[in-house]
Structures are given as C-alpha cells and as structure tokens.
Amino acid sequence: MDYTGFDSLLVQLRTLRDKPQIDEKTVNSSTFWLLQDDTSIVGVVNIRHRLNKYLLEIGGHIGYGIRPSERRKGYATEMLRLSLLKAGELGLTNVLVTCDKDNLGSAKTIKNNGGVLDSEAIVDGVKIQRYWINIKSMSGQ
C-alpha cells in the first residue's frame, strides 16, 4: 500500500472496507482513529470483518496501535473495548486478537477486555499469542 500521504491512506482504507477479499492476507475492514482534541492522532484500530487462513493464524479480527508518547495511559484498553462493541455490531460473536508474546502491554490490554489465551505459535521467527474474546459474555448479553 502507498502510505506517502494521508489522503492516499484514506483511499486505501476505503478499498479495504468495501472489498470482501483483497489478497491472501487482507480482508475487508473498518478503521477508526482515536484523536486528542480533534487534531492529534493518539491511536488507530482496524477491525477485520472476517478471518481468512492468514488472519486466523497471526492477524486476528482486531489490530491496534497507540502513539508511543501516549502509551500506558489506558487508551489501548478503551480503544479495544470500543472496537469489540463495533465488532458485535458487525455480527461477530467471538473475536481473535493476537500479539507478540514479548508485548506485555498488548497482552494486558487484551486480557483486560476478556481475552483468553488460546495458543502460541512461532510465525516468521516471532512467538505470537492468540487470544479469543467472547463478545456476548463481555457485554453481559
């Protein structure tokens, strides 16, 4: 993808949202931004509407990131919580979220949102943890 400019990034993201299958690693998805004072990007989250073989192994339904200067302030936990609500609106009931095993902050964020460790795998030399979150049990439905 071409990320040289914000406008081109938005065009690429619209493509991901609207097409059911882009390639063997990418499916349709929705992207949401966490802004501070409506001007500064704090974080971004990508919700994949379904999983393919690749995403079932490593990517999961939800990927997120927080700007380094804003980490350890609870933003990731809240952003993932809101993403799970949105995933439920998309009809998902069980959501896979993965992280590198050495990313303790991300693992804590996932666990804080009801993530249950399912398995670990080594993918491209990196140990990945796979967590499932049951949205129905999370929201009390």
Give the span between the Cα atoms of 94 and 72, in whole angstroms. 26
* Domain at 6-139, CATH class: alpha beta
Q: 8-50: per-residue pLDDT in tens?
A: 666 766 666 666 555 667 788 888 989 888 778 899 999 999 9
* Torsion sign over Cα 111, 87, 132, 36: negative
Domain boundaries, the chain: 6-139
Contact residues for 59 (Cβ-Cβ < 8 A; gap 6+)? 25, 48, 51, 98
Query: Could you give the strand order of the β-sheet that contains 116-123, starting from the edge strand earlier in sequence?
Result: 94-100, 126-134, 116-123
User: Is the full-model pTM beyond 0.85?
Assistant: no
